[in-house]
Amino acid sequence: MNAHNQINDLKSRMGQSIIGQSDVIDRLLIGLLANGNLLIEGLPGLAKTRAVKAMARNLDAQFSRIQFTPDLLPSDVTGTEVFQQTPDGGTFRFEPGPIFANIVLADEINRAPAKVQAALLEAMEERQVTVSGTTHTMDPLFIVMATQNPIEQEGTYPLPEAQMDRFLMHVQITYPLVEDEVEVIRLVRGEDNATASSSRTEAPAPIPQDAVFTARAEIGQIHVSDAMDRYMADLVQATRTPDKFSEDLANWIEIGASPRASLALDKCGRAHAWMNGRDYVDPADIRAIAHDVFRHRITLSFEAEGEAKTADDVVAEILRLVALP
């Protein structure tokens, strides 16, 4: 199979254990192919952790899960120097933390204090960790997928803006439809029965990492026209100069998106086009992922909160006002 068929196979396998969340599966794959980190938000019990585990289980990659808690220390994430006694006296040896894996699930990241959250920054941005003056690099395939509960939930800490901006996309998971929930009940019941009877079927061979690297190389060759480059830049610029588009937009946005938003639109747009079998990016690709790219990069004003406007409402208005190429 070529890389496109292998990624579609991965998507199909994930869909067998994640019911009614096809958009979330697409976003997880886009993050993997675009070599970026994802923030997945949703109420407890909406299969955030299950979705990430489904990807890791079907991909030939080392998986690590970090449960963030209020008493977690930075060294619990990055690793630490351990003294080891030797015949010659003794030496310090670096003991890698759970961050050293291919797919890292940072579960409920907003339940840990800012110091622990900051321990992820260098790894997410630079793909390396520095401990006691020594730099340790990550594997070529490395992605952090962090889940969080809405900050209104008790016992959570809002993520710092600097860390939020380092996530390629902010994916939201909502309640499933009633028909999908019926399928969820049947799926979990079947899994429980298979476990109890020890009749679990043999899992197919995992998708090799080479499929991801080949897909990334092909995505790098996706054609992006000058008009599409300008369209992406115009969308980002609209978050910074909203007064040029409408008075309402100017009242809703306090701080616009950083240049990382432009880069994220480009990467995710090309990955979206590739997944849909095209060798070029069109406006539909950009509009499909715009909410996930902008959702965590726009700071809303008090007026917007007073009018019960969400970031998605603001992004929808930007997409309506900015002219298509």
Name the DSSP letter for residue 80. Answer: E
Closest CA to 56 of 114, 120, 103, 7: 103
| Number of CB atoms found within 10 A of residue 38's CB | 23
Walk along the chain (325 residues) in steps of 10 and give the mean pLDDT of each run. Answer: 92 89 92 94 84 91 90 87 78 85 90 81 82 84 88 72 87 89 88 73 85 96 96 96 92 93 96 95 96 94 91 95 91
Q: What is the pLDDT of residue 220?
A: 95
In this prediction, residue 180 carries a pLDDT of 87
Tell me the pLDDT of the chain averaged across its residues: 89
Q: What is the pLDDT of residue 152?
A: 66
Residues forming a β-bridge with 63: 103
CA distance 272 to 291: 14
Specify the pLDDT at position 294: 96
The whole-number pLDDT of residue 174 equals: 86
N-terminal to C-terminal alpha carbon distance within the chain: 36
**Predicted pLDDT of residue 153:** 65
Structural tokens at position 23: 């958009």
Q: What is the pLDDT of residue 300?
A: 92
> Within 10 Å of residue 291's Cβ, how many Cβ atoms?
19
**E strand segments, the chain:** 38-41, 63-67, 79-84, 91-96, 103-107, 128-131, 134-137, 143-148, 169-172, 253-255, 299-300
Instruction: Quote the CA–CA distance of 175 and 137 in Å, as a whole number.
Output: 38
**How much is the pTM?**
0.90
Per DSSP, the residues of 85-145 read: --TTS-EEEEEE-TTSSSEEEEETGGGS-HHHHHTTHHHHHHSEEEETTEEEEPPSS-EEE
Which helix H or strand E contains 245, and what residues bound it?
A: none
Helix (H, G, I), strand (E, B) or coil at 20: coil
pLDDT, tens digit (0-9, with 9 covering 90-100), for 112-153: 887 888 778 778 888 888 877 788 888 899 999 998 887 666
